[in-house]
Structures are given as C-alpha cells and as structure tokens.
Structure 1
Amino acid sequence: MKHTYILFAVLMTLPFLGITQTMEEINEPTISGLDEVAPFSEGFAAVRKGNQWGFIDQTGKLVIDFRNDLVWDENSDAARKDIRGIRYPQFKNGLCPIQKVEEEGIPFYGFMDTQGQIAIQPEYLNIAHFDEDKTVGIYCKRTFRGKNNFQLNIYEYTFTEVVVNTKGEMVWPIRDRDSILMTKRRYEIPELRASLVSKDLLAVKGDNNRWEIRRMNL
C-alpha cells in the first residue's frame, strides 16, 4: 500500500516538473489517414492510401512516397508464387515488384529498389519474387513493325521464360513460350511453368503437364 501512495504522489507531481504533454501529444502519429498497413519485410512496411502505396521504415517515417505502380491485389491467390499471388507490396532481396501498363492495355512487370528507383525494367508478363538472388519470369520482346491503316502501332512479339538475377540480367533461358494473345480483350497473364527448387536446379512443367528437373550450369 505504501508503494501505491508513493507512485500516486510521483504521478501528481509530474505536471509541476514541466511534463505537461497530453495523451494526444505523446501519441501523435508519424503518418495518418491510412487505409491499410502491411507487415514489415526487410526493414520496410507498405502503407496504403486509396489505390496508392508507399513504404515506411522502422521509425514510422515515410521513406518511399505513395505511388500507383506497385503490384498488389486484395483478391490475390496466396497459393501462387507469381504476380497473381501478391496481396500487398513488399521487399524481398531488396526488390519490390512494379508494373507498367503499355499501350495495348497489358501490364508489364519489373522491380524497384529500396530507394524507389527502377532496378529491373518492366519487360515481363509474369514473374515471381526473388529467392535469394534469382527468380523466374516470362520475358516479352516487342519489335515495332510500323503502323496499320488506323495509324496504330504494330508490334511483333517473342516470349521466353528465363531465370533472372537481382541485377536484371537474364542468366539462363528455360524455354520459348507461345500462344500468348497480346490483345487486351483476350489477354490472360501467362502461367509460369518453371520454378527454382535450389540454387542450381529448376523444376519445369512440360506440355504434357508433367514435371522434370533441370540443372543450370551458371
């Protein structure tokens, strides 16, 4: 009981010692008006306002401003390891997926670094998060072939599933991909048919939907 009286007396004297902050003042937010706060990953947490996301550091400071090119989907499929499985933006291996919608209305994917700068150009129709220093993506090469009678640009496309490193270098070709329709009405994000199972091994799904293991000689 004696200790309780002492504690009460100390608390009563705090205002007279110059400590006059209110509850609101000592709990002043570092950032407010957020619609969503994601968990921390690699020292950063994504925060959302409307359809835009930014990143805070572990002090609560907004270190990457709100932007609308970060990849996220509130209806994402958590079982997927590619673009369609990303619920909210996050960094892995210092990289976070971004997207750029080209003139065909089709999104291309790449990555930004922890400074918010583009580290890997958005040239992939689908790509997975990095596992250590590599990932798998479907690279789309666009070659301009002129304009049609309506003065719309005509492109020729080639698609290759590749292994990519964190520098954006395509370090291993896996297979050519076809039957990807590059018109907005009929376009679907193509499925990744390969995944990294170790530093040097790939699991690759064949046209018969059966898997095989391949070794990369990097």
Structure 2
Amino acid sequence: MKKVIIMFTLLVVIPISSFSQTIENIDYISPFNEGVAAIKKNNQWAFINKVGDIVINFRNDLVVTASVNGNYPIFNSGRCLIVKKENGISYFGYIDSLGNTAIEPQFLNATAFNNNVATALKLEKEEVGKNTALNKGIVYYKYFEVVIDINGTIKTYLTQKGVNIALDRKFLRKPPKFLTKQLSNNLIAVKSDNGKWTIKKIIE
C-alpha cells in the first residue's frame, strides 16, 4: 500500500515541479491583450503568455502606451511600438508577436495599432542644393502625418502640407505631437491651424 501511495505522489508532484517556471521581482504586470501580458522588471519590459512563459524577453526599447487599464507596452493587430535613438533623436517602429522588427524605427512619432492601422509622423528629406565649398548637400527636413498598415505601407496622408523641422536633438528633445486622432476604423479627425477639425475617410 505504501508503494502505491509513493508512486501516486511521484506522478503528481514530479510533472508540476519539472514544468513550473518562476519569474521573480516583477514591478508591474499588465492585463492580457492578444494573448500576452507585459511585465516590467528593472525598467525593462517583457511579454508572457497565458501559461506564464516569457515569449518576448526583457528589453528597453518597448514603448509604454496609455490605456484605460494603465500605462504599459501593448500588442494591437500583432504589432507593438518600439523606439530607437539615433544622435539623441527618437525614431519609432514596431515588432511582431515573436519580437522581430516588423517595421523599422523611422517615424518621429507613432501610435499603437488599432484595427490594423496606426498614425505616424513620416520624415522626408529634400535636397535643395549643394554647398560647393564644403562639398555637402543642402537639405531640409519635414514630416507628414500618415496612416500606415501593419507592414508600414502608407495608406493615406493626413496632412498635405509638411511641417518643417530641424533634425537636431536640441530641437527634438521630445517627439512632435499629433494633430490628428482616429475616430473609427475608417475615420480620422485632423486639426487645422485655426483650431477647427476636419473629418477624413481612410480609403481601403
């Protein structure tokens, strides 16, 4: 009888102890969204699945997004925002659910995806001449607010007139603000210089 009890105990205990995974000293745990939850530890974020496995390891480039439940990185439409700094300027892109870069960091600002679209500030460079003495091109930079799909393809320009900008960290300590907001899957509101709003349809 004792042998039966011992065997039964081993069968029950061993699988549990063999497959359990402990993640300790977590500072924050977000609600689950798209099957994963963000966890914070020592100013880095990771993602776990619903069985407690880390599916995207701790990293410092995940962007915290404000939501009704708190502020944390979040997956929407299979994409999560990341940020990369170059010469002190922040550029935003996205990773996929495996942690691979899906859209290279290139935007001066970007939102989380919603129904497979996101709003981003697309930077464009225009060469207007050349400084012959220094043998350097004279360039101007401007950005446009655009709607992108999950592949980073521009679906529509929300602002037709670009905003001129000095690509210098002294002037870009923070990402430029948006003048638009998404109202629904196919509607975007654009704020004009006079403070009035224009509603635009996103054409599929």
Q: Which has the higher strand share?
A: 2
Structure 1: distance between partners of 2:47 and 2:83: 17
For the 8 Å contact 1:30–1:61, the answer to whether it is kept is: no
User: Is 123-132 or 90-99 further displaced after alignment?
Assistant: 123-132
Q: Answer yes or no: is 1:140 the counterpart of 2:123.
A: yes
2:149 counterpart (162, 165, 186): 165
Aligned residues: 190
| Structure 1 gaps, min length 5 | 1-13, 80-85, 148-153
Pair 1:142–1:30, CA change in 2 (3 A)? farther
- Check if 1:112 corresponds to 2:80: no
Q: Distance in 2 between matches of 1:180 and 1:49?
A: 36
Moved over 3 A (4+): 14-18, 76-79, 142-147, 179-182
List alignment gaps of at least 5 residues for structure 2.
Answer: 132-137
1:182 is aligned with what amino acid? L
Task: Give the Cα separation in 2 of the matches to 1:40 and 1:146.
Answer: 53
Aligned-partner residue type, residue 102 of structure 2: A
Are the aligned partners of 1:123 and 1:141 in contact in 2 as well (CA < 8 Å)? no
TM-score by length of 1: 0.73
Does residue 48 (structure 1) correspond to residue 40 (structure 2)? The answer is yes
Q: TM-score, normalised by structure 2?
A: 0.78
% identical aligned pairs: 32
Asked whether the equivalents of residues 139 and 159 of structure 1 are also in contact (C-alpha less than 8 Å), the reply is yes
Q: Closer, same or farther in 2 for the Cα pair 1:29/1:146, shift >3 Å?
A: farther
Write the distance in 2 (CA, Å) between the matches of 1:77 and 1:18.
49
Give 3-state SS (helix, strand or coil) of 1:92's partner: coil
SS in 2 for 1:131: coil
SS of 2:141's partner is strand
Deviations 1:154-174 (A, max 9, x none): 964221110111111011011
Residue 63 of structure 1 pairs with residue 79 of structure 2: no
Q: Distance in 2 between matches of 1:172 and 1:198?
A: 15
- Aligned-partner residue type, residue 153 of structure 2: E
